[in-house]
């Protein structure tokens, strides 16, 4: 299997964990040996952190590969993948490292495994600087399933910063190929709903206050829709540690989904958390795209692998998305075109079409 190594500079563009996730997933899928150097070179704590290590080890285990240089603080790794196998795989960040990011790196790989997979992911489910598990379930899942597969996401325990301690089990069957997607018609917003949660010692009033503040904020801009945000007290046996946060989803007539979310921090009042999520949602609704800024980059790898031309309409293209495109082109040889949307209704907005000619990856095991 081992051809020439793909060389990746881990310090360019996003310059962080995302480069590792995209490059190791593609290396694993395509059977290409990989070397990543200057890992997180520009970050305040350069090199691998525990959550990056658990992601790398998971990919290694998924395909019985060889991994060198994988220790905390390391700025260079080499990875030699073998055949992707199904079955049960466990990854534990041992911190509040995000289970959602572990899912991001492993999901494309297990789609092309020889048999069904069960991924046991441990860490933070609702953590900063990463999608919340509610986002993964309520937005990412229904959209990514348009590529022609389904997965099941079972939240066993929720875990919060700084302790983590959450666990999610993801089950999925392999596919022969992925279908391309076309998400260019946004439609109009038909529903807005969400959940405001408290866990551990935080009083339920905090959840109610976050929800109420978010509803007030949205009403100023969108008057004619009922906004249904449920305050939730996470059951004691299903949450580890203390946390609070909110996620709000807007759904459109064509099935597009947008989100705004926010997590509570010590000393930040509940209203502020609710308003931050509401403002994020409203900003994501203003740009005229069919996906929000967080879904953009999560779809790139799937578009690159799909059999045919995919198109998504977005707001401003994020650095994460530009980074994912760069490595999908470099490693998978997919072809992307990003251009300003030419629709009249988008004329005054910062709206783009990301088009990809996928490589039509075929599962060799099926």
Rounded to an integer, the average pLDDT of 9-37 is 97
Residue among 250, 329, 59, 347 at smallest CA distance from 338: 329
Q: Which pLDDT does position 128 carry in this prediction?
A: 86
CB 222 within 8 A of CB 189: yes
Q: Which pLDDT does position 348 carry in this prediction?
A: 86
CATH number, domain 189-285, options 3.10.580.10, 3.30.360.20, 3.30.1340.10, 3.30.1360.100:
3.30.360.20
Q: Which pLDDT does position 347 carry in this prediction?
A: 86
Residue, of 353 and 366, whose pLDDT is higher: 353
Binding residue per annotation — 238? no
- For residue range 286-320, what is the model confidence (pLDDT) as tens digits? 999 999 999 999 999 999 999 999 999 999 999 99
Binding residue per annotation — 104? yes
Q: 54 falls in which pLDDT band (50, 70, 90)?
A: very high
- For residue range 76-103, what is the model confidence (pLDDT) as tens digits? 999 999 999 999 999 999 998 999 999 9
Q: What percent of the chain has pLDDT over 70?
A: 99
Rounded to an integer, the average pLDDT of 231-252 is 97
Q: Please tell me which residue in 52, 89, 320, 326 is annotated as part of the active site.
A: 320
Rounded to an integer, the average pLDDT of 132-161 is 97
Sequence spans of domains, the chain: 6-183+291-359, 189-285
Please indicate whether residue 287 is annotated as part of the active site.
Answer: no
Q: Which pLDDT does position 57 carry in this prediction?
A: 97
Q: Which pLDDT does position 362 carry in this prediction?
A: 98
Maximum distance among all Cα pairs of the chain, rounded to whole angstroms: 59
pTM exceeds cut of 0.85 = yes
The whole-chain average pLDDT of the chain stands at 96
Binding residue per annotation — 233? no
Q: Would the pLDDT of 1 be above 90? A: no
CATH of domain 6-183+291-359: 3.65.10.20
- For residue range 152-207, what is the model confidence (pLDDT) as tens digits? 999 999 999 999 999 999 999 999 999 999 999 999 999 999 999 999 999 999 99
| CA 309 to chain centroid | 22
Q: Would the pLDDT of 3 be above 70? A: no
- For residue range 99-120, what is the model confidence (pLDDT) as tens digits? 999 999 999 999 999 999 999 9
Q: 123 falls in which pLDDT band (50, 70, 90)?
A: very high
Q: Would the pLDDT of 2 be above 70? A: no
Q: Which pLDDT does position 169 carry in this prediction?
A: 98
Residue with tokens 């109610």: 208
Q: Would the pLDDT of 229 be above 70? A: yes
Binding residue per annotation — 297? yes
Q: Which pLDDT does position 82 carry in this prediction?
A: 97
Quote the CA–CA distance of 259 and 282 in Å, as a whole number: 9
Please state whether beta strands 239-240 and 151-159 pair in parallel, antiparallel, or not at all (unpaired).
Answer: parallel
């Amino acid at each position: 299997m081992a051809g020439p190594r793909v060389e990746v500079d881990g310090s360019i563009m996003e310059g962080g964990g995302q480069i590792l996730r995209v490059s190791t997933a593609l290396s694993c899928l395509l059977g290409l040996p990989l070397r990543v150097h200057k890992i997180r070179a520009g970050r305040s704590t350069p090199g691998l952190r525990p959550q990056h290590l658990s992601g790398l080890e998971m990919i290694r285990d998924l395909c019985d590969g060889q991994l060198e240089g994988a220790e905390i603080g390391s700025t260079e790794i080499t990875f030699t993948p073998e055949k992707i196998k199904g079955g049960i795989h466990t990854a534990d960040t041992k911190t509040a490292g995000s289970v959602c990011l572990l899912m991001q790196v492993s999901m494309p790989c297990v789609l092309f495994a020889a048999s069904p997979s069960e991924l046991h992911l441990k860490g933070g489910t609702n953590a900063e600087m990463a999608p919340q598990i509610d986002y993964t379930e309520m937005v990412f899942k229904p959209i990514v399933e348009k590529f022609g597969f389904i997965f099941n996401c079972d939240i066993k325990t929720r875990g919060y910063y700084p302790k983590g301690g959450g666990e999610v089990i993801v089950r999925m069957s392999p596919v022969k190929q992925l279908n391309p997607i076309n998400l260019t018609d946004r439609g109009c917003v038909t529903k807005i709903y969400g959940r405001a949660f408290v866990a551990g010692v935080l009083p339920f009033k905090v959840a109610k206050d976050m929800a109420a503040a978010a509803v007030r904020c949205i009403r100023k801009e969108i008057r004619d829709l009922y906004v249904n945000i449920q305050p939730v007290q996470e059951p004691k046996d299903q949450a580890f540690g203390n946390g609070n946060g909110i996620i709000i989803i807007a759904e459109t007539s064509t099935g597009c989904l947008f989100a705004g979310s926010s997590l509570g921090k010590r000393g930040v009042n509940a209203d502020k958390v609710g308003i931050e999520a509401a403002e994020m949602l409203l900003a994501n609704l203003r740009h005229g795209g069919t996906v929000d800024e967080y879904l953009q980059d999560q779809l790139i790898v799937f578009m690159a692998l799909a059999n045919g031309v995919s198109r998504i309409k977005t707001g401003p293209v994020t650095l994460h998305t530009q980074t994912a495109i760069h490595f999908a082109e470099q490693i998978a040889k997919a072809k992307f075109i990003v251009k300003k949307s030419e629709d009249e209704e988008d004329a005054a907005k910062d709206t783009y079409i990301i088009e990809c000619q996928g490589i039509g990856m075929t599962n060799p095991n099926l």
